[in-house]
Chains A and B, each alone.
Chain A
Amino acid sequence: MRRLQWGYLFVAFAFIYLPVASLVLFSFKDGSLPLPPFEGPTLRWYAEVFGDRRLMAALGHSLMVAVGSSLTACVLGFLAAYGLARHVLPGSVWLRGLLIAPMTVSYLIVGLGLLIVFNQLGIGLSLWAAGIGHVVINLPLCFAIIYASMGAQQQNIERAARDLGAGEVRVITQVTVPMLAPAILAAFFLAMTLSWDEFVIAFLLTRFEVTLPVEIWSLLRSGLSSKTNAIGSIVFLGSAAIVLLLELFIFGRRRP
């Protein structure tokens, strides 16, 4: 029975890693079709990826949209969480529900709604439009994470600061934000990964300058190619490294 369980664990991990392993392996293949038999290894496809202007531009756009939209979502989310946790507002249950609502709607519908509005208003599609869409999907997440971390304990410290004469702005910048830094950082990085990887909204709302997932999508139309494997591997190793670093240095530390 026990052996069966270890066997299951092994098979499950094989299933989980099979596609990623073949993605990375065949990115080193000396041939344009990323299928067996393996020949090589070569770094040719990586050189081609880094030499590809469009891809590198898309990478830059993705970073801009991800950082910009996550920052906006975090600031708006923090302010709303602070307002709702520290002040008595009528109908606060409804306000929370409204702020969280976009989380329950699929990205395709969020993107389609914005596309219709921009079309009707005659506003052109751009990276800005995609960024706006990404704030819509990340704001509920940032709000929920930060709101959940605002406990009574911090409120007492805030009160102490206020009693000692600090104004509200000072309380927020010097007491609340530093105390909530782990939650705010977690919200920011989660929002960044989601925006960085988001496809449908960016696909619907950008036109000439596109983000990386959209550029990769257009490469897929030409079918299987070792170059696509190389980009995919770079994206995988990049995000894997970020996740591992976060785990080691930010989230891992809280554990004994």
Chain B
Amino acid sequence: MAISSTLRGWGFVTPALLWTLAFFVAPFAIMLAMSLATLEGRELIWGFDLANYRRLFGQSFLAGAIVVSLQITLTVTLVSILLAYPLAWIIAFRVPPRWQRLVLLLAILPFWTSYVVRSYSWLLVLSREGIVNKALMSLGVIAEPLQMASTRFATVTGFVHFFVMLLTLTIFANLVQLSPNYRRAATDLGASGWQAFRHVILPLTLPGIMVGAFLTFVLCIGDYITPQILGGNNELTVPQVIMVQLGRRGDFPLAAALSIVLMGLVSLAYLASARWLRLDRV
């Protein structure tokens, strides 16, 4: 061999490496520098100034956005797990095996439609004149239509709809891998159905739950579309504030600082769930 194996290996890896360095690592480094720059009038002054980060905690609407984002994301993650687990369980253990694949496919089919359109269709369902209000009024449950669109409830509903599908997949994948012997052994040793679940099945499915929960956290906290379409203007999430800074104000340094904070939150979530994730296997 004329050229060493290592050198050839580099040849194969280089294009992807250059792409990642040029269009991901370099922009990220510049964004980091940008978050330390300041804006005077329209002019950008590069430097090392933590002013943008101080603003995040000094100005109430910025600190508020971080709190709102965290509250919504944690609510969505928790509610999605609670709704998805029974669904995954029923599909894994009640639906006959030959139908499982079809039921699962049907459950995640709306997952593949346009994300923007999916949020919009929840707007239809939840609006003042929408199906839910009309149904509740004709049943006599409520007299006046409820304000559901443009609220945090709508944002959470839209998110939960999306992430229940995701979590059902990850939990289902975990459940079907479990040998039925575990449950049999537990019941043979005298555990009730609940005890077998609580002490045997649940701990064994924790990896599936955590992978789904981590993905939910990451995708939810960084999402701009759902809160923008469904949430109204009463409270803004971090991605919404970033977009406001980019658009109307042209305040790129502040937007960059907010993005860095967003990444920090995701890193914290990763550290909190790392022992279950095992992403290193990829």
Contacts and interface: CB of A to CB of B under 8 A. Distances in A.
Contacts of A193: 112
A6 interface: yes
Interface in B206-251: 218-219, 221-225, 229, 239, 242, 246
A201 to B, nearest CB: 11
B184 to A, nearest CB: 19
B125 A113 contact: no
Given A16-B161, A106-B218, A22 B124 contact: yes
B47 interface: no
A19 B125 contact: yes
Interface residues of A, number: 89
B27 A8 contact: no
B116, B117, B219, B259 — most chain A CB neighbours (10 Å): B117
B61 interface: no
A107 B222 contact: yes
B222 A36 contact: no
B110 to A, nearest CB: 5
A6 B91 CA distance: 10
Contact of A197 (B115, B123, B161, B262): B115
B112 A243 contact: yes
A214 B20 CA distance: 25
A112 interface: yes
A140 to B, nearest CB: 8
B97 to A, nearest CB: 11
B62 interface: no
Contacts of B161: 15-16, 19
B23 A144 contact: no
Instruction: Give the interface SS of chain A, mostly helix, strand, loop or mixed.
Output: helix
Contacts of A76: 15-16, 19
A67 B113 CA distance: 18
Contacts of A80: 12-13, 15-17
A44 to B, nearest CB: 18
A236 B117 contact: yes
B176 interface: no
Interface string A15-28: 11111101100100
Nearest to A97: B280
Given A86-B9, A106-B219, A236-B117, A229 B124 contact: yes
Contacts of B256: 112, 116
Interface of B: 5-6, 8-13, 15-17, 19-20, 23-28, 30-31, 34, 83, 86-87, 90-91, 94-95, 101, 105-107, 109-110, 112-118, 120-125, 127, 129-131, 134, 161, 164-165, 218-219, 221-225, 229, 239, 242, 246, 252, 255-256, 259, 262-263, 266, 270, 279, 282
18 contacts: A5-B94, A19-B122, A22-B124, A35-B130, A87-B5, A89-B10, A100-B282, A102-B20, A106-B266, A107-B222, A109-B31, A116-B256, A117-B30, A136-B19, A213-B116, A220-B120, A236-B114, A242-B112
